[in-house]
């Protein structure tokens, strides 16, 4: 099983550029989420989805959009990148409501100059 | 809203010494999960605690959930260099929003 797959692994953007971080899982998990990790800040929830067609905001949603057209995929879009969005981004999925382990992807390291 | 405070932020220990990290909440938690992230890696699930006063062990790791379900701890006995990494607690309060603590970065000096 591939588990949770994130692409790309590294990305450098210029301020104002847009891009999409890809996340796919092959475990048939209903729940998927995006986190950003910054030094000293831990993992902060950006957006999450409890199933296809359903998304909701996490702790730090501003500047990011998501959609969930299929169970497998949960892309994260940066419409106009800002230096404050320089971070490591993790996608995670789980099978159940709040009491199932999260399975994380390997992360995307994004630098915005 | 959901919030968990985790202490300490950093801990350096000599190999063989014990290590403990604490997770505290101002509200009652329905469950608490613990994750480990190796340097350069992604968080990996270790364990989940659900019951008041619950204690679980995994080899040298002991996990506790407080009687009031407002705090939790992870204790490592006789640390090894393989224990290096950042340890996170996470809670969801039974919802779909998994909120993580700020993590404790453990460095083990050989």
Inspect the interface and report whether the beta carbons of B96 and A90 lie closer than 8 Å: no
* pLDDT at B1 (0 to 100): 55
Nearest to B28 by CA among B62, B56, B63, B3: B3
* pLDDT at A50 (0 to 100): 93
Nearest to A36 by CA among A76, A93, A96, A80: A76
Alpha-carbon distance of B19 to B76, in angstroms, equals 5
Task: Give the gap in angstroms from C-alpha B55 to the nearest C-alpha of chain A.
Answer: 17
Give the rounded distance of the alpha carbon of B109 from its chain centre.
20
Does the beta carbon of A58 lie under 8 angstroms from any beta carbon of chain B? yes
* pLDDT at A46 (0 to 100): 97
Which of residues 1 through 30 in chain A touch B, CB cutoff 8 A? none
CB B19 within 8 A of CB B11: yes
Alpha-carbon distance of A66 to B64, in angstroms, equals 36
Inform me whether the pLDDT recorded for B50 exceeds 70.
Answer: yes
Alpha-carbon distance of B89 to B23, in angstroms, equals 7
Inspect the interface and report whether the beta carbons of A44 and B42 lie closer than 8 Å: no
Res. A2 pLDDT band, cuts 50 70 90 = confident
Inform me whether the pLDDT recorded for A25 exceeds 70.
Answer: yes
List phi, psi (to 5°) of A108. Answer: -125, 125
Structure tokens, A79? 């419409």
CB A10 within 8 A of CB A109: yes
* pLDDT at B3 (0 to 100): 77
B42, B90, B96 member nearest A106 (Cβ): B42
Res. B90 pLDDT band, cuts 50 70 90 = very high
* pLDDT at A96 (0 to 100): 73
Task: Give the gap in angstroms from C-alpha B7 to the nearest C-alpha of chain A.
Answer: 12
What is the percent of chain A where pLDDT is above 90?
Answer: 89
Inspect the interface and report whether the beta carbons of B9 and A42 lie closer than 8 Å: no
Tell me the mean pLDDT in the region A90-94.
97
Inform me whether the pLDDT recorded for B81 exceeds 60.
Answer: yes
Interface test with A, best of B21, B97, B101, B105 (most A CBs within 10 A): B97
Segment B17-49, tens digit of pLDDT: 999 999 999 899 999 999 999 999 999 999 999
CB A69 within 8 A of CB A52: yes
């Amino acid at each position: 099983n591939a588990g949770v797959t994130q692409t790309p692994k590294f990305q450098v953007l210029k301020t104002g550029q847009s891009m999409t971080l890809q996340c796919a899982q092959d475990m048939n998990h209903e729940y998927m989420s995006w986190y950003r990790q910054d030094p000293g800040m831990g993992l902060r929830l950006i957006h999450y989805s409890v199933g296809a067609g359903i998304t909701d905001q996490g702790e730090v949603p501003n500047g990011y959009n998501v959609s969930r057209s299929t169970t497998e995929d949960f892309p994260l879009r940066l419409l106009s990148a800002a230096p404050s969005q320089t971070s490591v981004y993790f996608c995670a999925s789980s099978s159940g409501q709040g009491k199932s382990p999260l399975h994380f992807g390997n992360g995307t390291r994004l630098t915005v100059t | 809203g959901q919030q968990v405070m985790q202490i300490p932020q950093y801990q350096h220990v000599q190999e063989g010494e014990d290590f403990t990290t604490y997770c505290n909440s101002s509200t009652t938690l329905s469950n608490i999960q613990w994750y480990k992230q190796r340097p350069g890696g992604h968080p990996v699930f270790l364990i989940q605690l659900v019951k008041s006063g619950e204690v679980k062990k995994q080899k040298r790791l002991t996990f506790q959930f407080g009687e009031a379900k407002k705090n939790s701890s992870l204790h490592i006995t006789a640390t090894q260099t393989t224990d290096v990494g950042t340890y996170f607690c996470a809670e969801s309060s039974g919802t779909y929003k998994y909120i993580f603590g700020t993590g404790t970065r453990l460095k083990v000096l050989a």
